[in-house]
């Protein structure tokens, strides 16, 4: 059985157990807390009282947030005038479009919408929506596709925050309040990089939600989700915060998610995750699922990100993000060992853009950023998110580990520019060294072949052997080796000598690919 099958079976197994987990958990907590009282008295009144107090806490949280949660329905005219049938979420039957997800994540990450069609959240046409004409009954017309999600009232005068993928591309947005009153909403602004949007209805005196300070939220804290899973309005589910600072999920450009085991399903998208005080700690945005439904791993955009993006969209209609001007990478165990520090102690700077905010502040390649404005960072997603939350022109105080010593820097952030890089060209195979690398000194022909800049110095990687240590480290033809073991290197013979003498600890390289530089440890095969 391969690992994928194991993951799938584990997911289905946990899906069966989740129906009983809440009841079992409540009973276990009540019994544990009541143990001293039961030892002193034979009756169960104290245990019942404690269990009821837990129930009251959840009831209070749900009641507090409930009036601030709305149901969102969207409709969009399909651009494909063809008959279509309903299919499970993520389907692509009969030429239907599917929700856009990064390559490789479709199998694991499903948006919260069920159904099918040309945008996230298409409901099954068999339920009465978007029925196309039958073939042979005249010209086919583009069907109207329907979808649904959730949202949170952010201001008393009708501003509502939800996910970008809930309302993106919608022709009509309908909002239903907790009392059933419906309004047609207009789109104020959308930010796909954070998967957030703000819509507005013409109303007043609404119950605006209160946002929490998520720095106080910790794994193990109770939390409650309220939304419209599968169209069931104002469904309340409970669980705990599983983790904070999750990135690499693949659903947004900037990820610093709260992970939760609170049951969330298609239709919860854009709805709130709240603490026991009924304060919003996040906006539900994605689930990891092989079945399309809850399997105990959900992700929410943290409240500070929601508030920052929401403010930008409400005041300007778009989001401007801070820019530090550095290339970043995780501090892996191998890199940490080579640099004499602990893994995940911070985020490693692979390069610093000349003349950028980081360079002006004094940052150098090889620095390890450990905090931003006093908040610790342990992975690139956290650092990106925290810098992106800050406005251009604002100051970011950075904790930095350099040569084993803690230092402090202050950078004035610029406006984040667009990103993109050209694909790396291929090269003809060469004789490889012990690490599976073939390198050449950079000359005019090499610059033309690999599209290198005139001031580029170092060694060009011309080939990476299949199955080699270099391939395992992620090296590619066209990479430029700037330094080895902390020293600049431009001579291929010298590099091959270093590669041949590499110990099991590995060879620390600083490489450049496109406009980005990073550190890599290449370990020889045992």
What residues are labeled active site?
Answer: 165, 195, 269
Alpha-carbon gap, residue 361 to 410, rounded angstroms: 6
Q: Measure Cα distances from 68 to 74, 140, 210, 280, 285 in Å.
A: 19, 41, 9, 10, 18
β-strands 414-415, 322-323: how paired?
antiparallel
Q: CA quadruple 371, 372, 375, 377: dihedral positive or negative?
A: negative
Q: Give the chain's radius of gyration (CA, Å).
A: 27
Cα 506 to Cα 185, 333, 339: the distances in Å are 58, 12, 12
* Contact (CB, 8 A) for 427 and 477: yes
Helix (H, G, I), strand (E, B) or coil at 192: coil
Q: How far apart are CA 229 and CA 493, in angstroms?
A: 63
348 phi and psi angles, rounded to 5 deg: -85, 135
Both tokens of residue 288? 């990891």
Beta-bridge partner residues of 395: 412
Do residues 187 and 167 lie in contact, with contact meaning Cβ atoms separated by under 8 Å? yes
Count the neighbouring beta carbons within 10 Å of the beta carbon of residue 422: 9
Dist. CA 432–CA 411, nearest whole Å = 43
Contact 345, 383 (CB under 8 A): no
User: What are the distances in angstroms from CA 484 to CA 52, 92, 367, 465?
Assistant: 64, 48, 16, 19
Q: What is the 3 state secondary structure string of 265-296? A: CCCCCCCEEECCCCCEEEEEEEEECCCCCCCC
In 14-55, DSSP assigns E strands to none
Instruction: Check if the beta carbon of residue 71 is closer than 8 Å to that of residue 176.
Output: yes
Going by C-alpha positions, the residue among 273, 292, 297 that lies closest to residue 161 is 273
Cβ contacts of 504-510, under 8 Å, gap ≥ 24: 505/337, 505/338, 506/334, 506/338, 507/435, 508/335, 508/338, 508/339, 508/484, 509/481, 509/483, 509/484, 510/350, 510/365, 510/366, 510/481, 510/482, 510/483, 510/484
> In this structure, how many other beta carbons lie within 10 angstroms of the beta carbon of residue 455?
5
**Nearest one of 367, 403, 408, 400 to 519, comparing CA atoms:** 367
Q: Is residue 369 classed exposed, middle or buried when 0-12, 13-18 and 19+ CB atoms within 10 A define those classes?
A: buried
């Amino acid at each position: 059985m391969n690992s994928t099958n194991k993951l799938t079976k584990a997911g289905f197994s946990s899906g069966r157990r989740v129906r009983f987990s809440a009841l079992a958990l409540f009973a276990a907590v009540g019994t544990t807390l009541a143990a001293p009282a039961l030892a002193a008295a034979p009756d169960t009144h104290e245990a019942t009282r404690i269990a009821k107090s837990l129930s009251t806490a959840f009831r209070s949280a749900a009641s507090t947030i409930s009036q601030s949660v709305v149901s969102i329905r969207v409709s969009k005219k399909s651009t494909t005038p063809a008959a279509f049938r309903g299919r499970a979420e993520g389907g692509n039957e009969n030429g239907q479009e599917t929700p856009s997800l990064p390559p490789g994540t479709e199998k694991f990450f499903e948006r919260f919408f069920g159904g099918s069609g040309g945008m996230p959240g298409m409901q099954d046409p068999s339920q009465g929506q978007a029925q196309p004409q039958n073939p042979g009954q005249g010209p086919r017309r583009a069907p109207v596709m329907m979808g649904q999600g959730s949202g949170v009232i952010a201001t008393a005068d009708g501003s509502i925050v939800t996910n970008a993928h809930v309302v993106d591309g919608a022709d009509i947005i309908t909002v239903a309040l907790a009392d059933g009153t419906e309004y047609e909403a207009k789109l104020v602004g959308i930010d796909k990089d954070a998967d957030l949007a703000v819509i507005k209805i013409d109303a007043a005196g609404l119950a605006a939600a209160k946002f929490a300070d998520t720095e106080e939220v910790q794994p193990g804290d109770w939390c409650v989700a309220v939304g419209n899973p599968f169209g069931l309005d104002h469904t309340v589910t409970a669980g705990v915060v599983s983790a904070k600072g999750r990135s690499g999920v693949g659903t947004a450009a900037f990820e610093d998610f709260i992970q939760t085991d609170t049951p969330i399903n298609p239709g919860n998208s854009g709805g709130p995750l709240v603490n026991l005080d009924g304060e919003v700690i996040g906006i539900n945005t994605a689930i990891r699922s092989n079945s399309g439904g809850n399997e105990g791993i959900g992700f929410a955009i943290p409240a500070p990100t929601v508030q920052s993006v929401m403010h930008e969209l409400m005041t300007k209609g778009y989001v401007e993000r801070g820019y530090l001007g550095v290339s970043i990478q995780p501090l892996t165990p191998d890199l940490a060992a080579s640099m004499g520090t602990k893994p995940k102690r911070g985020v490693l700077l692979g390069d610093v853009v000349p003349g950028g905010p980081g360079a002006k502040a004094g940052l150098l390649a090889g620095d390890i950023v450990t905090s931003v404005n006093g908040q610790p960072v342990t992975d690139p997603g956290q650092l990106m998110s925290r810098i992106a939350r800050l406005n251009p022109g604002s100051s970011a105080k950075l904790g930095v580990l350099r040569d084993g010593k803690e230092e402090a820097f202050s950078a004035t952030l610029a406006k984040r520019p667009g990103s993109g890089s050209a694909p790396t060209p291929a090269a003809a195979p060469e004789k490889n060294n012990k690490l599976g690398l073939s390198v050449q000194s950079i000359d005019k022909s090499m610059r033309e072949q690999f599209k290198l800049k005139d001031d580029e110095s170092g060694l060009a990687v011309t080939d990476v052997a299949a199955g080699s240590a270099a391939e395992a480290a992620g090296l590619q033809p066209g990479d430029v080796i700037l330094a080895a073991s902390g020293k600049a290197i431009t001579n291929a013979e010298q590099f091959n000598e270093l590669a041949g003498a590499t110990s099991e600890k590995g060879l620390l390289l600083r490489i450049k690919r496109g406009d980005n530089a990073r550190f890599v440890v290449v370990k020889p095969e045992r």
